[in-house]
Amino acid sequence: MAHSVRAESTTENLLDKLSEAEDYLRIQPSVSSKILKQYLAQIGQLSINEQLSWHQNLLRASIALNQMKQVEITVRAMLAYPELEKEADKFVSLLSSLGIFIRRTGHPHESIWLFNCGLKQPIKNEKQKISLLISKGTSLSYLNKNKQAKDSYAQALQIAEQKNAEVFISAIYNVLGILAIKEEDYPLAKEYLIKALQLSQRISRRSGQIVAGLQLLRLSILDNDVILYEKLHYRISRLILASDNEVRQAYLFWIEKAHQVSKGKELSAQEQAELLNKLRQIKSVSIGLYFQLVEKLAQPMGIKPLSVVNGFSDYQGDLLNYIKQCKD
């Protein structure tokens, strides 16, 4: 009897930890990840649905933190549950996260296949549909299918505005701003990204502020807007340096060096070597961020070994073989 009480108490504690991790997921995913990993070995005493919720939240946190190895581990763990195909919410989360993982590692075609599969599922949570449409648009943008990307973003924005989903509205403004930078429509890019930044500030969403802030800093260099850079740099850099996201810190390092070069500084060989190391770090988790930096900022800084090539390829892993629900 005493043993049963202890087990019940531990189960209750685990559910409290799961709830705590969910609370932190959008505002501080590093805390969510730490909680979920700390108790991961003990979740066998939870129900199957609760175990899948645990993995689902760890998957989301890992995506937010660019922890690609953990994403793959968690996807494999979820695919091992036969019950997964009956849990549409969890299955769609897996498709969404796996699609982002596949795209960030250089395979946008396969990621679109996963996002389309997710959109065909019986989605009850409209926020999942918004997320899939944003992700699909980003993958289309990687392939220079900009009109289709805008169509996907427009669908997402329409639903987000209907649901007053401000987190997603700010995310959509971010991706629209990034696409406008790519098309060299800098005034439009600035308009979208400032909207994203202001909305993220209003809802106290730190990651949204960082994404919009970094893109505005990049835009300030491309558009030679010194005032914009000086206005944003201190606040955005403090947010990034206080975070646990090494990729964003590496991206900030590139932006800061590019700004120095734009003002006439010549970089030392040591600085150039460090830029290359940071770039390799970024490329290992996001081919999209890698291209953002290489296409416009590398040459002025004397990073000659890098060239802009099509870094996309067919996915060679086995994870897609387990997604039987998506087979045509």
> DSSP characters for 162-194?
HTT-HHHHHHHHHHHHHHHHHTT-HHHHHHHHH
- Tell me how far CA of residue 87 lies from CA of 8, 51, 94, 113, 121, in angstroms: 25, 12, 11, 20, 11
Residues of the chain with pLDDT under 70: 1-9, 304-311, 328
Residue ending a domain, choose from 52, 86, 120: 86
304 phi and psi, to 5 degrees?
A: -75, -30
Residue 220 falls inside a structural domain: no
pLDDT at residue number 5: 38
**CA gap 212, 121 in Å, rounded:** 31
Tokens at residue 323, please?
Answer: 């997604």
Tokens at residue 216, please?
Answer: 């505005």
Residue 162 falls inside a structural domain: no
Residue 197 falls inside a structural domain: no
User: Could you tell me which of 251, 278, 285, 291 has the C-alpha nearest to residue 141?
Assistant: 291
pLDDT at residue number 7: 45
- Tell me how far CA of residue 143 lies from CA of 23, 272, 292, 294, in angstroms: 35, 29, 14, 16
**CA gap 105, 201 in Å, rounded:** 30
Q: Where in the sequence is the domain holding 2, given as residue range(s)?
A: 1-86
**CA gap 24, 244 in Å, rounded:** 14
Residue 61 falls inside a structural domain: yes
Residue 43 falls inside a structural domain: yes
Burial of 325 (0-12, 13-18, 19+ CB in 10 A): middle
Residue 114 falls inside a structural domain: no
Q: Total domain count for the chain?
A: 2
pLDDT at residue number 310: 52
- The Cβ-side half-sphere exposure at 15, using a 13 Å CA radius, reads 12
pLDDT at residue number 1: 40
pLDDT at residue number 328: 58
Query: What is the pTM for the complete model shown?
Result: 0.88
Contact 269, 308 (CB under 8 A): no
H or E element at residue 238: helix 226-241
**Rg, Å, the chain Cα set:** 21
Residue 294 CA, chain-centre distance (Å), reads 19
Residue ending a domain, choose from 58, 86, 114: 86
Burial of 42 (0-12, 13-18, 19+ CB in 10 A): middle
Residue 167 CA, chain-centre distance (Å), reads 13
Helix, strand, coil percentages, rounded to 5, for the chain: 80, 0, 20
For residue 229, give the amino acid letter. Answer: Y
Residue 193 falls inside a structural domain: no
pLDDT at residue number 311: 59
For residue 249, give the amino acid letter. Answer: Q
Tokens at residue 225, please?
Answer: 């807007």
**136: CB partners within 8 A, 6+ apart:** 112, 115, 116, 119, 152
